[in-house]
Amino acid sequence: MPTLESIAPVGDTDTDALPPLPGPLVPLLHEVRYALARLIDEGSEHRIDLHALPLNTTLIDQLLAFIGRGEVEARIDAMGPTRIHESATPGVWVVDYRDADDQRLALHLEIASVPQILRTDRATLNAGLQRLDAGLAGAGDPSPPS
Amino acid sequence: MAATQTLAEQLRAQGVSRRGFLKFCAATASLMALPPSLIPRIAEALEAARRPSVIWLSFQECTGCTESLTRSHAPTLEGLIFEAISLDYHHTLQAASGEAAEAARLQAMRDNAGAYLVVVDGSIPGPEANPGYSTVAGHSNHAILMETVEHAAAVIAVGTCAAFGGLPRAAPNPTGARAVMELVDDKPIVNISGCPPIPMAITGVLAHYLTFGRLPELDAYRRPLAFFGESIHDRCYRRPFYDQGLFAESFDDEGARQGWCLYRLGCKGPTTYNACATQRWNGATSWPIEAGHPCLGCSEPAFWDAGGFYQAVSVPPRVNAEALLGAGAAGAALGAGTALAARRFTRHEQQQREPVTVEALEKRL
CA distances from B288 to A130, B200, B298, B312 (A): 52, 17, 11, 16
pLDDT: is B317 or B113 the higher one? B113
Q: Is residue A13 part of a domain?
A: no
Q: State what percent of residues in chain B have pLDDT above 70.
A: 82
Q: How far is the alpha carbon of B315 from chain A, nearest alpha carbon, in Å?
A: 31
Segment B62-91, tens digit of pLDDT? 999 988 887 755 456 666 677 778 889 998
pLDDT, average across residues B240-257 = 94
- Residue A138 host element (H or E): helix A122-138
Is A103's CB within 8 Å of B29's CB? no
On whether the CB atoms of residues B156 and B118 are closer than 8 A, the answer is yes
The per-residue pLDDT for A84 is 97
- 3-state secondary structure at position B189: strand
Task: State the helix-helix crossing angle for B18-31 and B77-84, rounded to 10 degrees.
Answer: 100
Query: Which residues are B189's β-sheet partners?
Result: B155
User: Residue A56: which residues within 8 A CB-CB, separation 6 or more?
Assistant: none
Distance CA(B171)–CA(B133), nearest Å, equals 16
B37-51, B233-247, B269-283: least confidently modelled range: B37-51
Q: Is residue A48 part of a domain?
A: yes
Segment A52-111, tens digit of pLDDT? 776 777 888 999 999 999 999 999 998 889 999 999 999 999 999 998 878 888 899 999
The overall average pLDDT reported for chain B is: 83
Q: Can you give the residue ranges of every domain in chain B?
A: 7-228, 230-314, 330-365
Q: How far is the alpha carbon of A39 from chain B, nearest alpha carbon, in Å?
A: 14
pLDDT, average across residues B133-162 = 95
The per-residue pLDDT for B325 is 42
Does domain B7-228 sit in CATH 3.40.50.700? yes
> Of 4.10.480.10, 3.40.50.300, 2.60.120.380, 3.30.200.20, which CATH number belongs to B230-314?
4.10.480.10
Segment A24-34, tens digit of pLDDT? 789 899 999 99
The identity of residue B327, as a single letter, is A
**Among the partner residues B19, B31, B73, nearest to A117 by beta-carbon distance:** B19
User: Residue B213: which residues within 8 A CB-CB, separation 6 or more?
Assistant: none
CA distances from A23 to A29, A55, B179 (A): 10, 12, 47
Question: Is there a single domain that holds both residue A28 and residue A69?
Answer: yes
Q: How many domains does chain A have?
A: 2
Q: Is residue A8 part of a domain?
A: no
Best of B37, B73, B77 to disrupt the A interface by mutation (most A CBs within 10 Å)?
Answer: B77
pLDDT, average across residues B210-229 = 91
Q: Is residue A4 part of a domain?
A: no
The per-residue pLDDT for A13 is 55
Distance CA(B319)–CA(B116), nearest Å, equals 49
A93/B contact by beta carbon, under 8 A: no
Spell out which residues of chain B touch residue A116, defining contact as CB-CB under 8 Å: 22, 39-40
Please check whether the two domains, B7-228 and B230-314, share a CATH topology: no
B2 pLDDT tier (thresholds 50, 70, 90): very low
Spell out which residues of chain A touch residue B17, defining contact as CB-CB under 8 Å: 78, 124
Nearest CA to A123 among B154, B22, B186? B22
Strand A73-77, strand A81-86: pairing:
antiparallel
**Interface confidence (ipTM) of the complex:** 0.79
A4-13, A52-61, B50-59, B171-180: least confidently modelled range: A4-13
Tell me if the pTM is above 0.90.
no
Spell out which residues of chain B touch residue A117, defining contact as CB-CB under 8 Å: 19, 22-23, 26
- Can you give the residue range of the structural domain that contains A131? 118-146
Spell out which residues of chain A touch residue B36, defining contact as CB-CB under 8 Å: 47-49, 106, 108
Task: State the helix-helix crossing angle for B199-212 and B18-31, rounded to 10 degrees.
Answer: 110
The CATH number of the domain where A41 resides is what?
Answer: 3.30.1370.140
CA distances from B187 to A75, B42, B54, B163 (A): 46, 26, 15, 14
**Among the partner residues A47, A121, A123, nearest to B36 by beta-carbon distance:** A47
Q: Is residue A42 part of a domain?
A: yes
A66-70, A71-75, B216-220, B315-319: least confidently modelled range: B315-319
Q: Is residue A6 part of a domain?
A: no
Residue B326 has pLDDT above 60, yes or no: no
Distance CA(A88)–CA(B255), nearest Å, equals 43
Distance CA(B39)–CA(B41), nearest Å, equals 5
Cα dihedral value B21, B24, B28, B29, nearest 10: 70
How many C-beta neighbours within 10 Å does residue B237 have? 13
Is A117's CB within 8 Å of B73's CB? no
The per-residue pLDDT for B75 is 52
